[in-house]
């Protein structure tokens, strides 16, 4: 819920303060601090506070990254899927490696790993410049403009449902596997399997599906596959079934992300 507000809020601040070119660097750098602080927590209330604070900085990172990618691609926006596939591939390597390294060790090392990777992203982002001008329209008039577009409102509702489902599957898959008796290495392998499958789909399949079907039908496919995955988790509560369902993750998160970015653009 914090991220729902923080993304647009940061964008408005950046427009008015002339920080659009440096906003990605700012939020990636600040996002490190609450995550590092979590490593020394012993209180649920403090964890909840730092999680919310982390979401304040995390909210605009994905939209800013998407905007930069689309600006670089220009007329070749259907290639966005292939750019995003590199993120899925690196995620697969990191999550599998992390699961293996943390097996039987202190979980707090994961927070340090986050700081190292996000710090690298912060440094790299200093070389990115926004190709879009600052927006001068007021918040109220902008919202009224969007709310008069029935197609946009329908799209936003559908995307909201898709991302709620994504948050459930992403946020609780590791806990669910743990409850079913899976080890940390199996949990890491599960995440890696999903990301490797998503990488292949986003490199070779989803761009063609986007050209042939369009972003609206691709989003419908993603919603249907989300429902299928969650149905498998619920009806077949076995480690092997949950892990196997990760193979089609590219048709859920990957397809919905690509479809949403293309439709919005």
What confidence tens digit (pLDDT) does each residue in 44-83 have? 999 999 999 999 999 888 888 887 888 888 877 777 888 8
What pLDDT, on the 0 to 100 scale, is given for residue 135?
A: 61
Give just the sign of the alpha carbon dihedral 12, 16, 21, 22: negative
Among the listed residues 172, 182, 163, 168, the one whose alpha carbon sits nearest the alpha carbon of residue 243: 182
Structure token pair of residue 29: 């750098």
What pLDDT, on the 0 to 100 scale, is given for residue 132?
A: 59
Between CA 88 and CA 5 the distance in angstroms is 26
What pLDDT, on the 0 to 100 scale, is given for residue 32?
A: 95
Q: pLDDT tens, position by position, for the chain (265 residues)?
A: 898 888 888 878 877 777 777 888 999 999 999 999 998 888 999 999 999 999 999 988 888 888 788 888 887 777 788 888 888 788 778 877 887 888 778 888 888 889 999 999 999 989 887 655 656 667 778 788 888 999 889 888 888 887 788 788 778 888 999 999 998 889 888 888 888 888 888 888 888 898 889 888 998 898 899 889 889 999 999 999 999 998 888 888 888 888 888 888 7
Residue 130 in 3-state DSSP? Answer: coil
- Which residue reads 């409102």 in tokens? 153
Q: How many residues are present in the chain?
A: 265
Q: How many CB atoms lie within 10 A of CB 86?
A: 12
Whole-prediction pTM value? 0.67
Which of the 8 DSSP states describes residue 1?
-
Q: How many CB atoms lie within 10 A of CB 164?
A: 11
What pLDDT, on the 0 to 100 scale, is given for residue 145?
A: 85
Which of the 8 DSSP states describes residue 201?
I
Greatest C-alpha distance within the chain: 55
Q: Which helix (H) or strand (E) holds 12?
A: helix 2-17
Between CA 160 and CA 178 the distance in angstroms is 28
Between CA 23 and CA 13 the distance in angstroms is 9
- Helices and strands (H and E) in the chain: how many: 14, 0
What pLDDT, on the 0 to 100 scale, is given for residue 131?
A: 57
Among the listed residues 110, 112, 31, 111, the one whose alpha carbon sits nearest the alpha carbon of residue 64: 31
- Sequence-separated (6 or more) residues with CB below 8 Å from residue 235: none
Between CA 95 and CA 99 the distance in angstroms is 6
């Amino acid at each position: 819920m914090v991220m729902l507000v923080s993304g647009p809020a940061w964008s408005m601040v950046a427009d008015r303060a002339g920080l659009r070119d440096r906003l990605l660097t700012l939020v990636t750098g600040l996002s490190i601090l609450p995550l590092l602080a979590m490593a020394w927590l012993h209180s649920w209330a403090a964890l909840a506070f730092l999680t919310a604070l982390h979401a304040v900085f995390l909210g605009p990172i994905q939209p800013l990254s998407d905007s930069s990618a689309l600006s670089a691609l220009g007329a070749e926006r259907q290639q966005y899927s292939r750019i995003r596939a590199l993120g899925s591939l690196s995620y697969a390597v990191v999550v599998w490696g992390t699961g293996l390294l943390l097996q039987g060790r202190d979980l707090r090392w994961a927070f340090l790993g986050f700081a190292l990777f996000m710090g690298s992203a912060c440094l790299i982002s200093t070389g990115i410049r926004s190709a879009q001008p600052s927006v001068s329209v007021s918040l109220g008039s902008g919202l009224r403009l969007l709310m008069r577009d029935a197609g946009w409102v329908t799209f936003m509702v559908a995307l909201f449902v898709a991302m709620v489902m994504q948050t459930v599957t992403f946020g609780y898959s590791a806990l669910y596997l743990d409850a079913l008796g899976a080890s940390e290495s199996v949990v890491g392998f599960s995440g890696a399997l999903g990301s490797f499958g998503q990488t292949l789909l986003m490199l070779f399949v989803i761009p063609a599906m986007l050209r042939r079907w369009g972003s609206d039908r691709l989003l419908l496919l993603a919603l249907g596959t989300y429902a299928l995955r969650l149905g498998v988790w619920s009806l077949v509560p076995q480690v092997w079934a949950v892990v196997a369902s990760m193979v089609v993750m590219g048709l859920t998160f990957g397809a919905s992300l690509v479809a949403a970015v293309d439709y919005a653009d």
